[in-house]
Amino acid sequence: MKMTKTAGGIVCDLSGTGAQARGPINHAGDYADGLFLRKWMACILRNLAESPERAAELDINEGVCDLLQLRFPPPGTLVTPEFNLQALDGVLDEVRFYDRLLDNAELAAIE
């Protein structure tokens, strides 16, 4: 990651990120236009303040999202993974099963 301070904030260039891994270390940083990742990074950047007192003065809120610009690489990297929906099909079936089970439990409790 290359970070550049500009007049309008900080630009984080993630274009050098490695390829998507087969294991569970991928992070969909580009999800929701990187909103979650920007908020998470703000917490880390606050630790770079000149003193603990100054860090305590810095609030992490929606305003920080306007100051952090993220540049993402194309799909298929650690921060822009592409998930195979077929691989999730079994998980989705299990979620549907538990959803129906809970619905039936609610109906049984009402009757």
Distance from C-alpha of 52 to C-alpha of 64, rounded to nearest angstrom = 19
Parse the chain into domains and list their residue ranges.
Answer: 2-80, 84-111
Residue-wise pLDDT for 73-107, tens only, equals 999 999 999 876 555 555 555 566 666 666 666 65
Digit-coded pLDDT (tens) for 10-45: 999 999 999 988 877 888 889 888 888 888 888 888
Helix (H, G, I), strand (E, B) or coil at 1: coil
Q: In sequence order, what are the residues at sequence separation of 6 or more whose Cβ sits closer than 8 angstroms to the Cβ of residue 53?
A: none
User: Phi, psi (5° rounding) for residue 84?
Assistant: -80, 115
67: which residues sit within 8 A by CB, 6+ positions away?
A: 8, 9, 10
The band of 49, judged by pLDDT with boundaries at 50, 70 and 90, is: confident
pLDDT at position 27 = 86
